[in-house]
Amino acid sequence: MATPTASDGSDDELMNRAGVRTTLWQNPRMPRSTWPPCRDSVRIAPSLLAADFGHLAQAAHDLEGSGAERIHVDVMDGSFVPNFTFGTETIRSLRRETALPLEVHLMIVDPDRHLSSFASAGADAITVHYEACPHLHRTLTAIRELDCRAGAAINPSTPALMLEDVLEACDLALVMTIDPGFGGQRLIPRTLRKVEQLRREIEHQGLETELEVDGGVDADTARACVEAGANVLVAGTAVFGHAGGARAGVAAIRAAITATGPAA
C-alpha cells in the first residue's frame, strides 16, 4: 500500500480519516472514538495559561508522567475576553512536543470559522462558549465531525440550564468558576451551584458527558468542586505556580481530592 501524501505530493503531511490534515512527524492526535470519558475518576487538566510562555515545550514535558491526563490550552482573541494568548501555531508546536491530549478552549468570537484549523493543528478536544455560538448544537456537531471531543462552556453569569438541551452533543460541559480572561483569580463559590445542577441533569439524561470546572481551582477548592459534581479540574496557577514545580502542583491537587475529612 502506498504511503499517503499531501495534496502537493510531499510526504510531510497527510489527511486523516476525518479529513483533517496532519503531519507525519508529530505526536498523533487522540481521536474522540479512542478517548474514554471519565467515569469513576477525577481528571486534572493543567492550564498552560499559567505557564512561562517562553518555555511552553518544557511546561508540557513537565506534565508527562505527573498524573495530569490532558493539557488545557486557552485560546483568547482580545474580543470575547480582554486578553490575547495562543493560536494554531502554538497548538502545532505543542503537538510535536507531547503525546498528552490537547484540550483547546476557544474563548473567541465566531469560533465556527476556526474549528478545522485548530483540529488540523493537533487539537484533540475543542471547547466553545455558549455565549459565542448562536447555533451551539450545530457547532458541537461540527467539532465531533472533525473527530475531536466537543465541549460547551458557560460563563459565571450564564444559567446552567442553557446547556441542558445540548448535553447529548457534548463530550464535556465546562462551568467557568471565574470570569474568563485572566489566571490567578479566586473561585466564585456560587458557580458551584451550576456544577450541581449540571451533574443532576447529566445523570437524569443517562449521559457520560464530563463535567469540568475552570478557574480558581487549587488544593483549597478542589474537593468542593468534586463534591459539587465536577470530574475534570482545570488548574493553572496551582500547578505551574507551585513552589515544587508542576508535578508537585498536580500532586497537591490530587492529594486534596483524596484527603479524608470535610472539604475546605
Residues with Cβ within 8 Å of 53's Cβ and at least 6 positions away in sequence, in order, are none
Between 244 and 2, the higher pLDDT residue: 244
Beta bridge partners of 176: 214
Q: Is residue 35 part of a domain?
A: no
Listing DSSP states for 128-173 in one string gives EEGGG-TTHHHHHHHHHHTT-EEEEEE-TTS-GGGGGGGGGG-SEE
The per-residue pLDDT for range 104-132, each reduced to its tens digit, is 999 999 999 999 999 999 999 999 999 99
Q: Is residue 111 part of a domain?
A: yes
The per-residue pLDDT for range 212-251, each reduced to its tens digit, is 999 999 999 999 999 999 999 999 999 999 999 999 999 9
Quote the CA–CA distance of 50 and 71 in Å, as a whole number.
12
Quote the CA–CA distance of 83 and 99 in Å, as a whole number.
28
> What is the pLDDT averaged over residues 75-81?
93
- Amino acid 143 reads I
Is pTM beyond 0.85? Reply is yes
Whether residue 216 contacts residue 188, with contact meaning beta carbons closer than 8 Å, is answered with yes
Cell readout for 128 is 466553545
Which CATH number is 227's domain given?
3.20.20.70
Average pLDDT, the chain: 89
9-23, 37-51, 218-232: range with highest mean pLDDT: 218-232
Whether residue 217 contacts residue 179, with contact meaning beta carbons closer than 8 Å, is answered with no
The DSSP code for 188 is -
- Number of domains the chain is built from: 1
Q: Is residue 219 part of a domain?
A: yes
Kindly name the residue from 74, 124, 147, 171 that is annotated as catalytic: 74
Nearest to 67 by CA among 42, 96, 95: 42
Whether residue 212 contacts residue 172, with contact meaning beta carbons closer than 8 Å, is answered with yes
Q: Is residue 29 part of a domain?
A: no
Q: Is 11 a catalytic residue?
A: no
Q: Is residue 172 part of a domain?
A: yes
Q: Is residue 105 part of a domain?
A: yes
Q: Is 214 a catalytic residue?
A: yes
> What is the pLDDT averaged over residues 147-157?
97
Kindly name the residue from 62, 147, 171, 214 that is annotated as catalytic: 214
Whether residue 210 contacts residue 233, with contact meaning beta carbons closer than 8 Å, is answered with no
End-to-end CA distance of the chain: 59
Q: Is residue 4 part of a domain?
A: no
The pLDDT, as a whole number, for residue 260 is 63
What confidence tier does 184 reach under pLDDT thresholds 50, 70, 90?
confident
By percentage, how much of the chain surpasses pLDDT 90?
79
Whether residue 173 contacts residue 209, with contact meaning beta carbons closer than 8 Å, is answered with yes
Q: Is residue 133 part of a domain?
A: yes
The pLDDT, as a whole number, for residue 111 is 97
The pLDDT, as a whole number, for residue 21 is 52
The pLDDT, as a whole number, for residue 28 is 80
Q: Which domain holds residue 124?
A: 41-258
- Amino acid 19 reads G
